[in-house]
């Protein structure tokens, strides 16, 4: 199974990219102020990334050995 550093990196990558996307949508498309859009976008990005990475961790931890989780199913 992957180490904690891998999952922390995945979480930061997901949060950062989701934050950038949500800020761009809030500020550029919807026309909100940056301060309001950034706070709300950060909150949603942190929450959504926690759910996303948590579910990926759970699936890998549960024992579904496949290429995404780094499992060695079928290899001896």
Q: What is the average per-residue pLDDT within 45-54?
A: 95
pLDDT band at 76 (very low <50, low <70, confident <90, very high): very low
Q: What is the average per-residue pLDDT within 36-45?
A: 90
Residue 7 · residue 57 · CB < 8 Å: yes
Whether the pLDDT of residue 41 is over 60: the answer is yes
Residue 9 · residue 53 · CB < 8 Å: no
Its pTM stands at: 0.73
Q: How far apart are CA 56 and CA 37, in angstroms?
A: 28
Q: What percent of the chain has pLDDT over 70?
A: 79
Q: How far apart are CA 13 and CA 47, in angstroms?
A: 14
């Amino acid at each position: 199974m992957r180490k904690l550093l891998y999952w922390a990196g995945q979480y930061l990558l997901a949060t950062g990219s989701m934050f950038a996307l949500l800020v761009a949508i809030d500020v550029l498309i919807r026309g909100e102020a940056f301060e309001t859009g950034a706070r709300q976008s950060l909150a949603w990005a942190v929450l959504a990334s926690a759910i996303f990475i948590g579910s990926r961790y759970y699936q890998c931890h549960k024992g579904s050995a496949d290429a995404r989780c780094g499992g060695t199913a079928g290899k001896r």
